[in-house]
Amino acid sequence: MKFKPYPVSVSFPESYYTESQILLETALASVPGYNSWRKDDTSPMQNIDLRFAAMPILTKDDLRTHFPEGFLYPCRNLEAGLASKDIEYVKTSGTTGEQVTNIWNQKWWNQSEVASWKLNSNASEVATGAPREAILASPLSVGFKSELGDLPMEKRLLDRFLFLNDMTDSLKWTDTYMDRMIDEINSFRPVRLEANPSLLSKLCRYIVKSRRSVFQPSLIVITYELMSCLHLKHIRAVFNSPVVSSYGTTETGYVFMECEAGKFHQNVDFCRVDFQPLKKEHGGPLIGRILVSVFKNPWTALVRFNVGDLVHIDENQSCSCGRKEGLILSAIEGRTINITLTTAGFVITQRMADEAISSIDDLEEYKFVQTGTKTFDLFVVCTATSFPYITQQAQTILKKLYGEDAMITVRKIDAVVPEVSGKYRIISSELELDEEIFFENINSQKTIQ
Protein backbone atom coordinates (compact mmCIF):
# COMPACT_ATOMS: atom_id res chain seq x y z
CA MET A 1 0.00 0.00 0.00
CA LYS A 2 1.30 3.45 -0.93
CA PHE A 3 1.98 5.87 1.94
CA LYS A 4 -0.83 8.44 2.28
CA PRO A 5 0.21 11.78 3.77
CA TYR A 6 -3.46 12.85 4.12
CA PRO A 7 -6.74 11.02 4.81
CA VAL A 8 -7.89 12.14 1.33
CA SER A 9 -6.25 12.35 -2.12
CA VAL A 10 -4.64 15.72 -2.82
CA SER A 11 -3.12 16.89 -6.10
CA PHE A 12 0.09 18.91 -6.20
CA PRO A 13 2.08 20.36 -9.09
CA GLU A 14 5.32 18.54 -9.93
CA SER A 15 7.30 21.56 -8.70
CA TYR A 16 5.89 20.95 -5.20
CA TYR A 17 7.75 17.66 -4.93
CA THR A 18 10.93 19.15 -6.38
CA GLU A 19 10.81 22.05 -3.88
CA SER A 20 10.10 19.60 -1.03
CA GLN A 21 13.07 17.46 -1.94
CA ILE A 22 15.48 20.40 -2.32
CA LEU A 23 14.37 21.83 1.03
CA LEU A 24 14.67 18.57 2.96
CA GLU A 25 17.99 17.54 1.47
CA THR A 26 19.57 20.97 1.92
CA ALA A 27 18.32 21.21 5.51
CA LEU A 28 19.63 17.76 6.42
CA ALA A 29 22.94 18.24 4.64
CA SER A 30 23.93 21.71 5.73
CA VAL A 31 21.61 23.46 8.21
CA PRO A 32 22.85 22.94 11.80
CA GLY A 33 19.38 22.91 13.42
CA TYR A 34 18.66 19.62 11.63
CA ASN A 35 21.86 17.76 12.59
CA SER A 36 19.97 15.40 14.87
CA TRP A 37 17.34 14.71 12.19
CA ARG A 38 19.71 13.02 9.70
CA LYS A 39 19.46 9.61 11.34
CA ASP A 40 15.72 9.56 10.61
CA ASP A 41 16.20 9.87 6.84
CA THR A 42 16.42 6.23 5.89
CA SER A 43 16.92 6.40 2.13
CA PRO A 44 17.16 9.21 -0.41
CA MET A 45 15.44 6.86 -2.87
CA GLN A 46 12.37 6.73 -0.65
CA ASN A 47 9.12 8.53 -1.54
CA ILE A 48 9.50 12.20 -0.51
CA ASP A 49 6.22 12.28 1.47
CA LEU A 50 7.39 9.30 3.46
CA ARG A 51 10.77 10.95 4.10
CA PHE A 52 9.02 14.03 5.46
CA ALA A 53 6.71 11.89 7.62
CA ALA A 54 9.76 10.16 9.13
CA MET A 55 11.15 13.49 10.41
CA PRO A 56 10.54 14.97 13.87
CA ILE A 57 8.34 18.03 14.37
CA LEU A 58 9.98 21.46 14.61
CA THR A 59 8.77 23.49 17.59
CA LYS A 60 8.99 27.11 18.73
CA ASP A 61 11.37 25.85 21.41
CA ASP A 62 13.69 24.55 18.68
CA LEU A 63 13.62 27.95 16.98
CA ARG A 64 14.53 29.69 20.24
CA THR A 65 17.26 27.20 21.13
CA HIS A 66 19.04 27.48 17.79
CA PHE A 67 18.52 31.22 17.16
CA PRO A 68 20.00 32.98 15.27
CA GLU A 69 22.31 30.74 13.24
CA GLY A 70 20.69 27.31 13.64
CA PHE A 71 18.30 27.47 10.70
CA LEU A 72 20.35 29.65 8.39
CA TYR A 73 21.41 28.38 4.96
CA PRO A 74 25.20 27.87 4.94
CA CYS A 75 25.92 30.49 2.27
CA ARG A 76 24.30 33.24 4.37
CA ASN A 77 26.06 35.77 6.54
CA LEU A 78 23.91 37.32 9.27
CA GLU A 79 25.98 40.45 9.83
CA ALA A 80 26.14 41.23 6.13
CA GLY A 81 22.39 40.62 5.76
CA LEU A 82 21.54 42.87 8.70
CA ALA A 83 23.93 45.58 7.49
CA SER A 84 22.47 45.59 3.97
CA LYS A 85 18.93 45.54 5.48
CA ASP A 86 18.16 42.41 3.45
CA ILE A 87 17.02 40.92 6.77
CA GLU A 88 16.04 42.12 10.22
CA TYR A 89 15.13 40.47 13.51
CA VAL A 90 11.39 40.40 14.16
CA LYS A 91 9.94 39.27 17.47
CA THR A 92 6.45 37.74 17.41
CA SER A 93 3.98 38.98 20.01
CA GLY A 94 2.51 36.76 22.70
CA THR A 95 3.27 35.22 26.05
CA THR A 96 6.78 33.92 26.80
CA GLY A 97 5.92 30.45 25.49
CA GLU A 98 4.63 31.93 22.26
CA GLN A 99 7.37 34.47 21.53
CA VAL A 100 9.95 33.74 18.89
CA THR A 101 12.51 36.01 17.27
CA ASN A 102 12.64 35.45 13.53
CA ILE A 103 15.08 36.34 10.80
CA TRP A 104 12.79 38.39 8.59
CA ASN A 105 13.23 38.80 4.86
CA GLN A 106 10.67 41.30 3.58
CA LYS A 107 11.17 40.37 -0.07
CA TRP A 108 10.29 36.71 0.52
CA TRP A 109 7.29 37.73 2.67
CA ASN A 110 5.94 40.00 -0.07
CA GLN A 111 6.36 37.29 -2.70
CA SER A 112 4.54 34.79 -0.50
CA GLU A 113 1.69 37.29 0.00
CA VAL A 114 1.36 38.04 -3.72
CA ALA A 115 1.25 34.29 -4.50
CA SER A 116 -1.60 33.86 -2.01
CA TRP A 117 -3.77 36.49 -3.72
CA LYS A 118 -4.35 34.33 -6.76
CA LEU A 119 -6.26 31.91 -4.49
CA ASN A 120 -9.14 34.38 -4.22
CA SER A 121 -10.52 36.14 -7.30
CA ASN A 122 -11.65 39.23 -5.33
CA ALA A 123 -8.10 39.53 -3.98
CA SER A 124 -6.41 39.01 -7.34
CA GLU A 125 -8.68 41.64 -8.96
CA VAL A 126 -7.26 44.33 -6.67
CA ALA A 127 -3.71 42.98 -6.64
CA THR A 128 -2.33 45.01 -9.52
CA GLY A 129 -0.28 48.14 -8.98
CA ALA A 130 0.11 49.36 -5.43
CA PRO A 131 -3.41 49.43 -3.92
CA ARG A 132 -3.99 51.71 -0.93
CA GLU A 133 -4.35 49.57 2.15
CA ALA A 134 -5.64 50.46 5.62
CA ILE A 135 -4.64 48.18 8.50
CA LEU A 136 -6.62 47.79 11.69
CA ALA A 137 -4.48 45.75 14.06
CA SER A 138 -2.72 46.03 17.39
CA PRO A 139 0.49 48.09 17.07
CA LEU A 140 2.08 45.19 18.98
CA SER A 141 1.49 43.10 15.83
CA VAL A 142 2.24 45.73 13.19
CA GLY A 143 2.49 49.50 12.68
CA PHE A 144 3.30 52.44 14.94
CA LYS A 145 2.76 52.62 18.68
CA SER A 146 1.71 55.44 20.98
CA GLU A 147 0.18 54.83 24.42
CA LEU A 148 -2.15 57.81 24.05
CA GLY A 149 -3.10 57.03 20.48
CA ASP A 150 -2.16 60.55 19.44
CA LEU A 151 0.06 59.92 16.41
CA PRO A 152 -1.19 62.09 13.54
CA MET A 153 -2.16 60.35 10.31
CA GLU A 154 1.06 61.31 8.48
CA LYS A 155 3.08 59.48 11.14
CA ARG A 156 1.04 56.32 10.63
CA LEU A 157 1.49 56.22 6.87
CA LEU A 158 4.14 53.96 5.38
CA ASP A 159 4.40 53.62 1.64
CA ARG A 160 0.87 52.59 0.52
CA PHE A 161 -0.22 51.53 4.01
CA LEU A 162 -2.18 53.46 6.64
CA PHE A 163 -2.14 52.04 10.18
CA LEU A 164 -5.46 53.07 11.74
CA ASN A 165 -4.68 52.07 15.32
CA ASP A 166 -1.66 53.20 17.38
CA MET A 167 -3.00 52.28 20.83
CA THR A 168 -1.72 49.07 22.41
CA ASP A 169 -4.75 48.82 24.73
CA SER A 170 -7.94 48.64 22.66
CA LEU A 171 -10.02 48.98 25.87
CA LYS A 172 -8.93 52.64 25.88
CA TRP A 173 -10.52 53.39 22.51
CA THR A 174 -12.91 56.32 23.03
CA ASP A 175 -15.75 57.39 20.72
CA THR A 176 -13.52 60.25 19.51
CA TYR A 177 -10.73 57.79 18.75
CA MET A 178 -13.06 55.54 16.75
CA ASP A 179 -14.44 58.61 14.95
CA ARG A 180 -10.85 59.31 13.86
CA MET A 181 -10.60 55.80 12.37
CA ILE A 182 -13.86 56.24 10.47
CA ASP A 183 -12.81 59.68 9.17
CA GLU A 184 -9.50 58.25 8.01
CA ILE A 185 -11.12 55.29 6.23
CA ASN A 186 -13.45 57.79 4.50
CA SER A 187 -10.67 60.11 3.38
CA PHE A 188 -7.96 57.50 2.60
CA ARG A 189 -10.46 55.30 0.69
CA PRO A 190 -8.47 52.07 1.00
CA VAL A 191 -8.79 49.47 -1.75
CA ARG A 192 -8.07 46.81 0.88
CA LEU A 193 -8.78 46.87 4.58
CA GLU A 194 -6.67 44.34 6.48
CA ALA A 195 -8.01 43.72 9.96
CA ASN A 196 -7.78 41.85 13.20
CA PRO A 197 -11.40 40.58 13.44
CA SER A 198 -11.84 41.43 17.16
CA LEU A 199 -10.82 45.04 16.54
CA LEU A 200 -12.87 45.41 13.36
CA SER A 201 -15.90 43.96 15.19
CA LYS A 202 -15.44 46.57 17.92
CA LEU A 203 -15.24 49.41 15.39
CA CYS A 204 -18.27 48.05 13.51
CA ARG A 205 -20.39 47.91 16.67
CA TYR A 206 -19.55 51.57 17.25
CA ILE A 207 -20.36 52.49 13.65
CA VAL A 208 -23.80 50.88 14.00
CA LYS A 209 -24.50 52.58 17.37
CA SER A 210 -23.33 56.00 16.17
CA ARG A 211 -25.19 55.62 12.83
CA ARG A 212 -22.14 56.77 10.88
CA SER A 213 -21.50 55.82 7.29
CA VAL A 214 -18.19 54.44 6.16
CA PHE A 215 -16.35 54.00 2.85
CA GLN A 216 -16.62 50.45 1.45
CA PRO A 217 -13.22 48.99 0.45
CA SER A 218 -13.02 46.54 -2.48
CA LEU A 219 -11.83 43.82 -0.11
CA ILE A 220 -11.59 43.13 3.62
CA VAL A 221 -8.80 40.71 4.57
CA ILE A 222 -9.07 39.07 7.99
CA THR A 223 -5.87 37.94 9.64
CA TYR A 224 -4.00 37.94 13.05
CA GLU A 225 -6.76 35.88 14.74
CA LEU A 226 -9.37 33.28 13.87
CA MET A 227 -12.54 35.22 13.03
CA SER A 228 -15.48 34.49 15.31
CA CYS A 229 -18.92 34.03 13.68
CA LEU A 230 -19.94 36.90 15.94
CA HIS A 231 -17.23 39.14 14.48
CA LEU A 232 -18.44 38.38 10.97
CA LYS A 233 -22.02 39.27 11.96
CA HIS A 234 -20.83 42.67 13.26
CA ILE A 235 -18.67 43.31 10.18
CA ARG A 236 -21.54 42.36 7.87
CA ALA A 237 -23.81 44.90 9.61
CA VAL A 238 -21.50 47.67 8.31
CA PHE A 239 -19.58 46.46 5.28
CA ASN A 240 -20.87 44.83 2.11
CA SER A 241 -17.30 44.33 0.79
CA PRO A 242 -16.10 40.74 0.23
CA VAL A 243 -14.57 39.45 3.51
CA VAL A 244 -11.78 36.93 3.14
CA SER A 245 -9.64 35.16 5.74
CA SER A 246 -5.93 34.83 5.09
CA TYR A 247 -3.98 32.30 7.14
CA GLY A 248 -0.27 32.45 7.78
CA THR A 249 2.34 33.07 10.45
CA THR A 250 5.40 35.26 10.85
CA GLU A 251 7.60 32.15 10.60
CA THR A 252 5.94 30.54 7.58
CA GLY A 253 4.54 33.36 5.43
CA TYR A 254 1.16 32.89 3.74
CA VAL A 255 -0.06 29.30 4.03
CA PHE A 256 -3.79 29.23 3.18
CA MET A 257 -6.18 31.71 1.60
CA GLU A 258 -9.96 31.58 1.69
CA CYS A 259 -11.37 31.59 -1.84
CA GLU A 260 -14.53 33.36 -2.96
CA ALA A 261 -16.48 30.11 -2.36
CA GLY A 262 -15.42 30.01 1.31
CA LYS A 263 -12.93 27.13 1.35
CA PHE A 264 -9.20 27.48 2.07
CA HIS A 265 -6.57 26.73 -0.57
CA GLN A 266 -2.89 26.05 0.07
CA ASN A 267 -0.25 28.48 -1.17
CA VAL A 268 1.63 25.60 -2.86
CA ASP A 269 4.32 27.76 -4.45
CA PHE A 270 5.55 28.90 -1.03
CA CYS A 271 4.96 26.09 1.44
CA ARG A 272 4.54 22.42 2.02
CA VAL A 273 1.91 21.31 4.53
CA ASP A 274 2.12 17.99 6.37
CA PHE A 275 -0.79 16.84 8.48
CA GLN A 276 -1.17 15.00 11.79
CA PRO A 277 -4.78 13.95 12.41
CA LEU A 278 -6.55 13.98 15.73
CA LYS A 279 -7.56 10.52 16.95
CA LYS A 280 -10.94 9.43 15.64
CA GLU A 281 -12.71 9.95 18.98
CA HIS A 282 -11.36 13.54 19.08
CA GLY A 283 -12.52 14.55 15.60
CA GLY A 284 -9.96 12.89 13.28
CA PRO A 285 -9.01 11.94 10.70
CA LEU A 286 -10.12 15.08 8.82
CA ILE A 287 -9.33 17.46 11.70
CA GLY A 288 -5.72 17.71 12.76
CA ARG A 289 -2.69 19.95 13.05
CA ILE A 290 -0.55 21.25 10.25
CA LEU A 291 3.23 21.13 10.04
CA VAL A 292 4.49 23.74 7.61
CA SER A 293 7.72 23.64 5.58
CA VAL A 294 8.73 26.83 3.84
CA PHE A 295 9.80 27.14 0.18
CA LYS A 296 11.85 29.90 -1.43
CA ASN A 297 12.99 31.63 1.75
CA PRO A 298 16.58 32.54 0.77
CA TRP A 299 17.76 32.85 4.39
CA THR A 300 16.25 30.22 6.66
CA ALA A 301 15.19 26.58 6.28
CA LEU A 302 11.99 25.69 8.10
CA VAL A 303 10.88 22.05 7.95
CA ARG A 304 7.74 20.59 9.57
CA PHE A 305 7.16 23.58 11.84
CA ASN A 306 4.28 23.12 14.26
CA VAL A 307 2.41 26.40 13.87
CA GLY A 308 0.03 25.42 16.68
CA ASP A 309 -3.20 25.44 14.69
CA LEU A 310 -5.82 22.86 13.79
CA VAL A 311 -7.51 22.64 10.40
CA HIS A 312 -10.40 20.68 8.90
CA ILE A 313 -9.45 19.00 5.61
CA ASP A 314 -12.21 19.13 3.01
CA GLU A 315 -13.47 15.59 2.57
CA ASN A 316 -13.98 15.75 -1.21
CA GLN A 317 -10.99 18.00 -2.01
CA SER A 318 -13.12 19.88 -4.48
CA CYS A 319 -14.31 23.47 -4.49
CA SER A 320 -16.88 25.29 -6.63
CA CYS A 321 -14.20 27.95 -7.42
CA GLY A 322 -12.48 25.32 -9.59
CA ARG A 323 -9.02 25.50 -7.96
CA LYS A 324 -7.57 22.01 -7.74
CA GLU A 325 -3.94 22.21 -6.63
CA GLY A 326 -2.87 21.83 -3.03
CA LEU A 327 -4.67 20.92 0.14
CA ILE A 328 -8.27 22.22 0.37
CA LEU A 329 -9.64 22.95 3.83
CA SER A 330 -13.27 23.36 4.75
CA ALA A 331 -12.21 25.37 7.84
CA ILE A 332 -9.42 26.59 10.08
CA GLU A 333 -10.29 25.16 13.50
CA GLY A 334 -8.19 27.51 15.66
CA ARG A 335 -5.30 27.30 18.09
CA THR A 336 -4.42 23.92 19.60
CA ILE A 337 -3.99 25.61 23.00
CA ASN A 338 -7.63 26.73 22.79
CA ILE A 339 -8.95 23.17 22.74
CA THR A 340 -11.71 22.54 25.30
CA LEU A 341 -13.08 19.13 26.28
CA THR A 342 -16.58 17.74 26.64
CA THR A 343 -17.46 16.34 30.05
CA ALA A 344 -16.67 12.91 28.56
CA GLY A 345 -13.16 14.16 27.63
CA PHE A 346 -13.49 14.65 23.87
CA VAL A 347 -11.94 17.54 21.96
CA ILE A 348 -14.00 20.59 21.01
CA THR A 349 -12.04 22.93 18.74
CA GLN A 350 -12.04 26.71 19.05
CA ARG A 351 -14.17 27.00 15.90
CA MET A 352 -16.77 24.50 17.12
CA ALA A 353 -17.15 26.26 20.47
CA ASP A 354 -17.32 29.65 18.76
CA GLU A 355 -19.95 28.54 16.29
CA ALA A 356 -22.18 27.36 19.15
CA ILE A 357 -21.69 30.43 21.37
CA SER A 358 -22.02 32.91 18.48
CA SER A 359 -25.48 31.52 17.73
CA ILE A 360 -26.75 33.04 21.00
CA ASP A 361 -28.98 36.01 20.19
CA ASP A 362 -28.15 39.58 21.30
CA LEU A 363 -24.54 38.86 22.26
CA GLU A 364 -22.06 41.72 21.76
CA GLU A 365 -18.89 40.00 22.97
CA TYR A 366 -18.01 36.90 24.95
CA LYS A 367 -15.18 35.06 26.65
CA PHE A 368 -15.49 31.35 27.39
CA VAL A 369 -13.25 29.45 29.83
CA GLN A 370 -13.23 25.78 30.77
CA THR A 371 -12.35 25.83 34.49
CA GLY A 372 -12.62 22.10 35.28
CA THR A 373 -13.52 18.82 33.59
CA LYS A 374 -17.22 19.64 33.95
CA THR A 375 -17.25 23.36 34.71
CA PHE A 376 -17.33 26.27 32.29
CA ASP A 377 -17.58 30.06 32.66
CA LEU A 378 -19.17 32.17 29.95
CA PHE A 379 -18.58 35.93 30.31
CA VAL A 380 -20.91 37.99 28.18
CA VAL A 381 -21.16 41.61 27.09
CA CYS A 382 -24.81 42.51 26.49
CA THR A 383 -27.61 44.80 27.63
CA ALA A 384 -29.11 44.20 31.08
CA THR A 385 -32.47 43.34 29.53
CA SER A 386 -31.09 40.65 27.25
CA PHE A 387 -28.97 38.96 29.94
CA PRO A 388 -31.64 36.51 31.29
CA TYR A 389 -32.46 35.22 27.80
CA ILE A 390 -28.74 34.95 26.92
CA THR A 391 -28.18 32.87 30.07
CA GLN A 392 -31.04 30.57 29.15
CA GLN A 393 -29.78 30.10 25.59
CA ALA A 394 -26.19 29.53 26.77
CA GLN A 395 -27.27 26.72 29.12
CA THR A 396 -29.10 24.88 26.34
CA ILE A 397 -26.47 25.39 23.63
CA LEU A 398 -23.41 24.61 25.74
CA LYS A 399 -24.93 21.51 27.39
CA LYS A 400 -25.74 20.19 23.95
CA LEU A 401 -22.09 20.64 22.92
CA TYR A 402 -20.25 19.70 26.13
CA GLY A 403 -22.67 17.24 27.79
CA GLU A 404 -25.86 17.42 29.85
CA ASP A 405 -23.78 17.22 33.04
CA ALA A 406 -21.77 20.35 32.12
CA MET A 407 -22.05 23.09 34.73
CA ILE A 408 -22.26 26.43 32.96
CA THR A 409 -21.91 29.73 34.82
CA VAL A 410 -22.89 32.83 32.85
CA ARG A 411 -21.65 36.22 34.03
CA LYS A 412 -22.17 39.70 32.63
CA ILE A 413 -19.05 41.85 32.11
CA ASP A 414 -18.41 45.31 30.61
CA ALA A 415 -15.83 44.30 28.02
CA VAL A 416 -13.51 41.44 27.07
CA VAL A 417 -9.90 42.21 27.95
CA PRO A 418 -7.29 41.45 25.27
CA GLU A 419 -4.12 39.42 25.97
CA VAL A 420 -0.75 41.12 26.56
CA SER A 421 -0.03 40.52 22.86
CA GLY A 422 -2.89 42.88 21.95
CA LYS A 423 -4.80 39.93 20.45
CA TYR A 424 -7.92 38.39 21.94
CA ARG A 425 -8.26 34.87 23.29
CA ILE A 426 -12.00 34.37 23.69
CA ILE A 427 -11.97 30.58 24.12
CA SER A 428 -9.54 28.89 26.49
CA SER A 429 -9.10 26.15 29.03
CA GLU A 430 -7.58 26.13 32.52
CA LEU A 431 -7.12 22.35 32.36
CA GLU A 432 -3.50 21.27 32.09
CA LEU A 433 -3.66 19.34 28.87
CA ASP A 434 -0.93 17.37 27.14
CA GLU A 435 -2.13 18.05 23.62
CA GLU A 436 -0.02 15.21 22.19
CA ILE A 437 -2.45 12.59 23.54
CA PHE A 438 -5.19 13.82 21.19
CA PHE A 439 -3.21 13.13 18.01
CA GLU A 440 -2.63 9.96 16.03
CA ASN A 441 0.98 8.91 16.30
CA ILE A 442 2.56 9.79 12.97
CA ASN A 443 5.32 7.23 13.49
CA SER A 444 2.75 4.43 13.31
CA GLN A 445 1.92 5.64 9.79
CA LYS A 446 5.51 5.14 8.69
CA THR A 447 5.13 1.38 8.53
CA ILE A 448 2.58 1.69 5.73
CA GLN A 449 4.38 1.51 2.40
Q: Write the single-letter amino acid at 164.
A: L
290 or 302: CB nearest Zn ion: 290
Minimum Å gap between C-beta 243 and Zn ion is 15
Segment near Zn ion (CB under 5 A); pick from 106-114, 153-161, 269-277, 311-319: 311-319
Pairing of strands 88-91, 101-104: antiparallel
Q: What's the CA gap between 367 and 427, in Å, rounded?
A: 6
Computed on alpha carbons and rounded to an integer, the radius of gyration of the chain in Å comes to 22
Count Cα atoms within 13 angstroms, Cβ side, for 25: 12
Minimum Å gap between C-beta 328 and Zn ion is 7
Minimum Å gap between C-beta 327 and Zn ion is 12
Can you name the residues that pair with 195 across neighbouring β-strands?
136, 222
Minimum Å gap between C-beta 321 and Zn ion is 3
112 or 122: CB nearest Zn ion: 122
87 or 259: CB nearest Zn ion: 259
Q: Does 114 bind Zn ion (CB under 5 A)?
A: no
- Could you tell me the CA-to-CA distances from 13 to 184, 271, 275, 327 in Å, in that order? 43, 12, 18, 11
Segment near Zn ion (CB under 5 A); pick from 140-148, 287-295, 312-320, 436-444: 312-320
Minimum Å gap between C-beta 13 and Zn ion is 17
263 or 304: CB nearest Zn ion: 263
Number of residues that bind Zn ion (CB under 5 A): 6
31 or 257: CB nearest Zn ion: 257
Which residues lie closer than 8 Å to 385 by C-beta, 6 or more apart? none
Which residues lie closer than 8 Å to 276 by C-beta, 6 or more apart? 57, 288, 289, 291, 439, 440, 442
114 or 321: CB nearest Zn ion: 321
Contact positions with Zn ion (CB under 5 A) in 2-61: none
Site string for Zn ion, 225-264 (x = CB under 5 A): ----------------------------------x-x-x-
Minimum Å gap between C-beta 227 and Zn ion is 17
Give the closest residue to 387 by CA, choosing from 404, 412, 409, 408.
412
129 or 322: CB nearest Zn ion: 322
Minimum Å gap between C-beta 219 and Zn ion is 16
Which phi and psi (to 5°) does residue 331 adopt? -165, 155
Give the closest residue to 25 by CA, choosing from 51, 2, 5, 4.
51
Do the Cβ atoms of 217 and 444 come closer than 8 Å?
no
Minimum Å gap between C-beta 262 and Zn ion is 7
179 or 260: CB nearest Zn ion: 260
Per-residue burial over 289-298, b = 16 or more CB atoms within 10 Å of its CB, e = otherwise? bbbbbbbebe
Site string for Zn ion, 318-357 (x = CB under 5 A): -x-x-x----------------------------------
244 or 302: CB nearest Zn ion: 244
Can you name the residues that pair with 290 across neighbouring β-strands?
275
Give the closest residue to 249 by CA, choosing from 330, 308, 185.
308
Angle between helix 175-188 and 197-210 (nearest 10) = 100
Minimum Å gap between C-beta 317 and Zn ion is 11
Segment near Zn ion (CB under 5 A); pick from 85-93, 239-247, 315-323, 372-380: 315-323
Do the Cβ atoms of 117 and 219 come closer than 8 Å?
no
90 or 126: CB nearest Zn ion: 126
282 or 323: CB nearest Zn ion: 323
Minimum Å gap between C-beta 261 and Zn ion is 4
Minimum Å gap between C-beta 324 and Zn ion is 9
Q: Write out 314-354 in H/E/C secondary structure.
A: CCCCCCCCCCCECCEEEEEEEEHHHCEECCCCCEECHHHHH
Segment near Zn ion (CB under 5 A); pick from 75-83, 130-138, 288-296, 314-322: 314-322
Angle between helix 229-236 and 350-358 (nearest 10) = 50
- Which residues are at the interface with Zn ion (CB under 5 A)? 259, 261, 263, 319, 321, 323
